[in-house]
Structure formats: structure tokens, C-alpha cells
């Protein structure tokens, strides 16, 4: 039972990190991109392939995944962020399908639909992390580091530029800010964070395939951000806890295995509807009566 709870918590923090990267785009910068799961997949595949085929340690492989994801993030940002509204969403969706097609079609490298099995345990120097508890501790530490980085980022003048751009792009340009540069940079940062979550996922599950990084996964991250609260940083982790914890609790009800996937989708949809009607700002989001200079509600600091 303890190992089961550790496993669930590990997934919560891994998905929470991916959702926090999406929150930088959606909550702070006001950029709606459907491609975020692609960067998780790029990080997962980069780390998986480098450790299984070349014998790299976990940290260098994770850093390589960050480089790959940020490079693709810069490319898609330059290509798409000159568009606006629905056009950018459609373009990001095309990028998502392109990356998934690449992971399926480039069989000599990615093994196509078979995926990459037998990913080794995370190795850092001479230390091999086999214990679920030890892996959870490493995941929590990495998430804490990126949370601190993201928090300092959004509370800096750069973070205020992001929020100004989200609230009024025309006014942001009028005061002399480089709108395209801000958009590209936040896209790159979000892609790098997503890649870290992908690398952590790959070495925890020890298997990756191209079907784990689809539109469904982007929708899941979107639900986590909306449920927890946009522009909060802590909200995505709470959203991950709720959306991953409730389906896991439902397993103890003895329901048939074949309908569990449908139950998860029902839970995601129901959660969004309830949040939209009862608390549009999310569980930890700012309400009109409660503001914060740092972009977070007072109790989420």
C-alpha cells in the first residue's frame, strides 16, 4: 500500500511539473498552445534513447532533453506566435500531430509504435535510484528547484511583462516591449520545464511510446491548470493531485477495468464544468477580494 501511494504521489509531482510549465504559457502569458504534451514527449524520448542506447547518466540525458525541447520550442514559437487566436491554436495542434508522427514514423531511432522499453533506472554517477521512495524524493527535489525558478521568474520584471502582455498586448507594445521576444522566451522556458517532466516520467515508468504525448495529454494538463488555478504555480500541482488522485481512488470501488479510462474522462470533464460554474478562477486562483503582487493568492505563497 505504501509503494502504491508513493507511485501515485510521484505521478502527481511529475504531471504537476508539466502542468506548471503549461501555466507559464496559459496563466501568465495568456498563450493558448495545444502542443505542450509534445515537449513532454521530446524530453521523455531524448532521455530514454540516450540512456538505453548510449549509456548516458540521468542528469546529462535530462539536460539533453531540455536542449532538444527548447530548440523545437523556439522553432514553433517563431513560426506560430506571429499568428493570433484560433490560428495559433490550429498551428500548435499541427505541431503536436507532427511530433507524434515523427515519433511513430522515425522507426530507426524511436522504434515507432513499439516504443522504447527497458529504460534503465535513473543513474547519477555511481548511484542508481531503484527505490520508489528515493525516486519520489528526487522528483520532489527537482520540482522544488523548478518551482523556485518559476516563482522568481514570474515575480521579476520579466514576469510583470508576461502578465502585461496577457492583459493587453497593444499597451505592452506601446511602452516599448518586444512582444515577439517575450513570447518566444516564455515558450522556450515552458518547453524546457515540460521536457524535465518527460524525462522523469520515462525513467519512472521505464517505457515510452508515442501515444502518451497526444492531444488528450495536453487536455489533461489544461484541466490541471484550470482546476488548480491559472497564474498560481502551486495550482497545477493541486490540480494534478485531484485529477490523478480521484481516478486512483475509484479503482477501489471494484469497477470493471475496461471502463476506468472512460471514468477518468468523465472526471476531467465534470471537474472543468464544476470549476467553470462554482469557482472560475480555480481552487487556488485569485478572487476579486483577494489579490497578490506576486501573481499568486496570498495563501498559495
Q: Give tens-digit pLDDT for 134-166.
A: 999 999 999 999 999 999 999 999 999 999 999
Residue 170 lies in a domain: yes
Residue 121 lies in a domain: yes
pLDDT digits (tens, 9 = 90+) for 94-140: 999 999 999 999 999 999 999 999 999 999 988 999 999 999 999 99
Predicted local confidence at residue 185, as pLDDT = 94
pLDDT band at 217 (very low <50, low <70, confident <90, very high): very high
pTM attached to this predicted model: 0.90
More confident residue, 171 or 145: 145
pLDDT classification of 222: cutoffs 50, 70, 90: very high
Q: Using alpha carbons only, give the angle 46, 50, 56 rounded to the nearest 5 degrees.
A: 130
**CB within 8 Å of 136: residues ≥ 6 apart:** 6, 9, 10, 13
- Angle subtended by helix axes 132-154 and 179-205, to nearest 10: 170
Does residue 183 belong to any structural domain of this protein?
yes
Which candidate, 234, 223, 226, 224, places its Cα nearest to that of 281? 226
Asked if 31 and 183 count as a contact pair (C-beta separation under 8 A), the reply is yes
- pLDDT per residue as tens digits for the range 51-91: 999 999 999 999 999 999 999 999 888 888 777 667 888 88
Model pLDDT for residues 7-51, shown as the tens digit of each residue: 999 999 999 999 999 999 999 999 888 999 999 999 999 999 999
Q: Which position has the grid cell 462554482?
A: 278
Q: Taking 50 as the threshold, does the pLDDT of residue 267 lie above it?
A: yes
**In this predicted structure, what is the pLDDT of residue 253?**
67
Q: Which domain holds residue 122?
A: 2-213
Q: Which residues pair with 123 in a beta bridge?
A: 128
Q: Is residue 250 part of a domain?
A: no
For residue 171, is it within any domain?
yes
Question: Is 279 inside any structural domain?
Answer: no
How high is the pLDDT of residue 292? 43
Is residue 289 domain-resident?
A: no
On the 0-12 / 13-18 / 19+ scale of CB atoms within 10 A, 197 is: buried
Cα(183)–Cα(189) distance, rounded to whole angstroms?
Answer: 10
For the segment 236-253, the average pLDDT, to the nearest whole number, is: 84
**Owner of C-alpha cell 471502463:** 259
Query: Is residue 263 included in any domain, yes or no?
Result: no
Half-sphere exposure of 153 (CA within 13 A, CB side): 23
Give the model's confidence band at 199: pLDDT under 50 very low, under 70 low, under 90 confident, else very high.
very high
- As for how many domains the chain has, the answer is 1
For residue 299, pLDDT beyond 60: no
Q: Which long-range contacts (CB under 8 A, 24 or more apart) does 54-60 make?
A: 57/123, 57/124, 57/125, 58/122, 58/123, 58/124, 58/129, 58/199, 58/203, 59/124
Amino acid at each position: 500500500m505504501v509503494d502504491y501511494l508513493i507511485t501515485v504521489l510521484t505521478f502527481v509531482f511529475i504531471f504537476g511539473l508539466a502542468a506548471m510549465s503549461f501555466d507559464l504559457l496559459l496563466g501568465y502569458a495568456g498563450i493558448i498552445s495545444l502542443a505542450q504534451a509534445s515537449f513532454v514527449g521530446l524530453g521523455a524520448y531524448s532521455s530514454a534513447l540516450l540512456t538505453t542506447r548510449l549509456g548516458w547518466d540521468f542528469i546529462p540525458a535530462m539536460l539533453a532533453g531540455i536542449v532538444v525541447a527548447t530548440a523545437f520550442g523556439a522553432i514553433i514559437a517563431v513560426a506560430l506566435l506571429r499568428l493570433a487566436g484560433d490560428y495559433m491554436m490550429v498551428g500548435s495542434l499541427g505541431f503536436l500531430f507532427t511530433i507524434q508522427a515523427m515519433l511513430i514514423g522515425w522507426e530507426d531511432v524511436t522504434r515507432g509504435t513499439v516504443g522504447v522499453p527497458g529504460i534503465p533506472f535513473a543513474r547519477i554517477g555511481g548511484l542508481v535510484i531503484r527505490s520508489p521512495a528515493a525516486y519520489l524524493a528526487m522528483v520532489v527535489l527537482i520540482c522544488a528547484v523548478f518551482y523556485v525558478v518559476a516563482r522568481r521568474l514570474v515575480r521579476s520584471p520579466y514576469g510583470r511583462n508576461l502578465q502585461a502582455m496577457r492583459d493587453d498586448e497593444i499597451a505592452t507594445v506601446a511602452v516599448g516591449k518586444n512582444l515577439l521576444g517575450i513570447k518566444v522566451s516564455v515558450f522556450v522556458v515552458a518547453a524546457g520545464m515540460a521536457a524535465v517532466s518527460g524525462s522523469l516520467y520515462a525513467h519512472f515508468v521505464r517505457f515510452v511510446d508515442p501515444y502518451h504525448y497526444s492531444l488528450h495529454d495536453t487536455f489533461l494538463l489544461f484541466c490541471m491548470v484550470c482546476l488548480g488555478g491559472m497564474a498560481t504555480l502551486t495550482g497545477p500541482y493541486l490540480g494534478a493531485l485531484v485529477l490523478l488522485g480521484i481516478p486512483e481512488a475509484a479503482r477501489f470501488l471494484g469497477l470493471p477495468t475496461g471502463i476506468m479510462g472512460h471514468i477518468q474522462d468523465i472526471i476531467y470533464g465534470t471537474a472543468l464544468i464544476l470549476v467553470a460554474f462554482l469557482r472560475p478562477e480555480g481552487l487556488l486562483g485569485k478572487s476579486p477580494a483577494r489579490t497578490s503582487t506576486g501573481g499568486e493568492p496570498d495563501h498559495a505563497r
